[in-house]
Amino acid sequence: MSAEKKNAIKVFWLHLEDDPEWQEQRAYTGLKLKQRYPALRGITVGLLENKVKLRSKKATFDFTEISVRDALQGITKIMSSVPDGASVLLDLPDKEMQAVISGLADRQIALMNIRSKAMVLREAACQANVFHLIPSRRMYADTISQFLALRNWQRVLLLVGSHENDIADATQLEKSFQKFQIKMVDKRKFSLSNNPRDRDMNNLKLLTGGIDYDVVVITDDAGEYSRYVPYNTFLPRPVIGGAGLAARAWHWSWERYGAPQLNQRFDRRVKRSGIPDIKNRQMNDIDWAGWAAIKLITNSVPEPSPDRQINLLQAVKHKDIALDVYKGSRGSFRSWNNQLRQPMLMATHDAVVAKLPNTKFLHPHFFEDTLGIDAPQSTCQFN
């Protein structure tokens, strides 16, 4: 085998052909709400900007897209076409993500979760060949709780939607409130139904009245109900979560640590790359995770050896592997569950208000480990 083929870094991007989460999300009046996109644009930025660095290691990217109908076909295609030592970037909904990961448990492939926040993938269903670039649900929840604690907003009214993601987010928020000693004065369900029997669940004045609180936190995956909550609560209070302030892994208005340059590359260079996603849109959390996965792979590639092929799973597992996440500290993987430790942002639609964690929340090793499940509490223990 030639040295050039040995040093070809094989990276695959796996996604569903007709991903339901990529469909246009519209309100009943036709308004576009929270639109989601494939991670390809962020991945492409990573491929473009890391070509030179990889070339200095006498290696090149060999990038392949794999589009499948369902999880079973995804497992079959990877088993047949992805060699050991390669990396697969998983851009799948939670259910398909867990199925594919489980089906590849015995493969020597570096699986990169760039989309799913599901806790089960970091806990009961954790795997040593899976690396989580996207933050976990608990990390998002802890970001909100730390911000509340810093602002001394100690009494929370939690509004919860009916979508499974709303319920999962609320579960992690409740655990996080307890961790940071935030008092949840009440948890109330909201409804978009016009049924008169649901009046108490869709009338904002009724839903937010009859109780005192410092802040409203809302879990609303679709964004249909939460957009009406700010300025409409019974008490004049700030709103966090589905509307107003929100926890983010990335935001287009982040202005420090090289972030403006990354956002500009996301906007300009990709439009010249020929990929189909050239809409005028900003980089989001999943885009950022795709970009970070490519940067991680590049950093992990060792100096070339004429005697062996590069094994990305072994390379990424190296304890000294880290990457600049453009958020003020170097990202590295938690040894107990392969979650990328990283700072988080609290942002409105057009401004970053705070970067977390705050150093007031102490930790013996990494401040970032105050966000998410720490080693003593984790049911997943690789180390």
pLDDT digits (tens, 9 = 90+) for 202-231: 789 999 999 999 999 999 998 889 999 999
> DSSP code of 136?
P
Instruction: Please give the model's pTM, rounded to 2 decimal places.
Output: 0.94
Phi, psi (deg, nearest 5) at residue 88: -120, 125
Q: Supply the pLDDT for residue 262.
A: 94
- The answer to whether 331 and 352 have CB atoms below 8 angstroms apart is no
Cα dihedral across residues 120, 250, 265, 327: positive or negative: negative
Q: Is 295 among the domain residues? A: yes
The structure tokens 């009406």 sit at 228
Task: Give me the number of domains the chain comprises.
Answer: 2
Q: Supply the pLDDT for residue 197.
A: 61
Helix (H, G, I), strand (E, B) or coil at 154: coil
pLDDT 10s digits, 43-53: 999 999 998 88
CB atoms within 10 A of CB 16: 20
The H or E element spanning position 185 is: strand 183-189
What gap in Å lies between CA 176 and CA 356, rounded to an integer? 14
**363 pLDDT tier (thresholds 50, 70, 90):** confident
The domain that contains 193 carries what CATH number? 3.40.50.2300
Look at residue 307 and tell me whether its pLDDT is greater than 60.
no
Question: Are both 46 and 118 inside the same structural domain?
Answer: yes
What gap in Å lies between CA 297 and CA 280, rounded to an integer? 28
**268 pLDDT tier (thresholds 50, 70, 90):** confident
Question: Are both 179 and 40 inside the same structural domain?
Answer: no
Question: Are both 236 and 269 inside the same structural domain?
Answer: no
pLDDT 10s digits, 328-344: 888 999 999 999 999 99
Domain end point (choices 222, 248, 274): 248
Question: Are both 220 and 259 inside the same structural domain?
Answer: no
- The answer to whether 280 and 32 have CB atoms below 8 angstroms apart is no
Q: Which residue has the higher pLDDT, 123 or 243?
A: 123
Domain end point (choices 311, 326, 342): 342
Q: Is 105 among the domain residues? A: yes
Question: Are both 210 and 176 inside the same structural domain?
Answer: yes
Q: Which residue has the higher pLDDT, 284 or 272?
A: 284
Q: Is 349 among the domain residues? A: no
Q: Domain containing 188: what range?
A: 138-248
**27 pLDDT tier (thresholds 50, 70, 90):** low
Q: Supply the pLDDT for residue 1.
A: 46
